[in-house]
Amino acid sequence: MLPRRLRYVYVAIAALVVYLWFSGHSPTSLRPHRAPQHAPSLRYKNVNWSRYAYFQYATSTAYLCNSVMIFEALERLGSKADRVLLYPEKWDTQIESVTDRDSQLLVKARDWYKVRLVPVDIPVTHDRNEDAEELNATFTKFMAWGQSRYRRVLHLNSDITLFKHLDELFLLPSAPVAMMRAHWTLPTKKTLASNLILLQPSEDEYGRLMTASRPDIRQAGESDSDILNRFYGDSAMVLPHTPYGLVTGEFRIEDHRNYIGNSFDPWDPERALQEASLVHFLDDPFPKPWIMWPHNLYAEKHSQCKAEDCRNKDAWTSLYNDFRKRRK
């Protein structure tokens, strides 16, 4: 029989081990607005974060609202880098009435989320075709290359939900451009995805990209992604699509090898959400989450439960519901 004092020592050691284990292995919530979990190496204080910036642009009220949601998430998740928003110079920050939604959102971004507002002449070609006009607006992202006050800029599409901030990307080895592969097009096509672009501003590149995007120069139907692939398809640093490239369409398909990267690891929707830094709402034929769809589309196209396993369906539904709830 152990002496009483020695038994107390063993109990204390056991309690300490249990505490250290759970403090370092806490379960991660599946809620999209959970707190970030980053390596301690990102907590040092000798980084000049004013040299790095998240970049957003807005050409309509709908996308301005999305951008403000991203800035809110960056603030809540503890991001240290600057935040920049480009918007049409015809907008202003003088709130004239309760219905002046654009001004309200701009002021909120500036005052609540520390966003640097930059009014610019948005290069939008007015077109009777709404799809063509929206396509023209996407070339505004090329203005990120003109943000020469920063060493690095991170452009994110605004149709996403952020789970964690992405400050660690700014500290990657130097490269003019870093992007992910569009894994959902593999193996048929091997292209870069334009929903996340880590770039080093350059006046020369800015000029080249803006020239290439002019309606009288670019090819008919050529998108911003097409131009970026033409410029950087063979030279960009390729970022891993896990954890930065999860798309909502992944929860409605059967074959997950392109996302997982192999054919032997099982697909686990809950684990995918836990590990992801963001999710991109890319899910044809479903429209973006701020646009309501016909009820029959959901019934016809949504994935069904299999053997009482509804995790894919539940994850997909919760992502859309969460986005809409936060957007109200």
pLDDT digits (tens, 9 = 90+) for 238-278: 999 999 999 999 999 999 999 999 999 999 999 999 999 99
pLDDT of amino acid 13: 56
53-105 per-position pLDDT tens digit: 999 999 999 999 999 999 999 999 999 999 999 999 999 999 999 999 999 99
Nearest to 267 by CA among 276, 281, 257: 257
Q: Before 243, cis peptide (omega within 30)?
A: yes
Largest CA distance in the chain: 90
pLDDT of amino acid 6: 54
Considering just the CA atoms, what is the radius of gyration of the chain in Å? 23
Judge whether 166 and 78 are in contact, CB under 8 Å.
no
Q: Which two tokens stand for residue 219?
A: 């090819």
What predicted TM-score, i.e. pTM, was given to this entire model? 0.84
Greater confidence (120 vs 303) lies with 120
pLDDT of amino acid 304: 73
Cα separation, 153 vs 144, in Å, equals: 7
DSSP 107: H
Greater confidence (303 vs 171) lies with 171
Beta strands in the chain (DSSP E): 52-57, 82-88, 116-120, 152-156, 160-162, 177-181, 192-199, 237-239, 246-247, 278-280
Greater confidence (11 vs 196) lies with 196
Mean pLDDT, range 178-202, rounded to an integer:
95
What percentage of the chain's residues is helix, strand, coil (to nearest 5)? 45, 15, 40
pLDDT of amino acid 309: 87
Other beta carbons less than 10 A from residue 90's beta carbon: 9
pLDDT of amino acid 101: 95
Residue with tokens 């009435």: 97
Mean pLDDT, range 164-184, rounded to an integer:
96
Non-local (6+) Cβ contacts of 282 within 8 A are: 159, 184, 195, 247, 248, 249
pLDDT of amino acid 324: 94
pLDDT of amino acid 20: 44
pLDDT category, 22, cuts 50, 70, 90?
Answer: very low
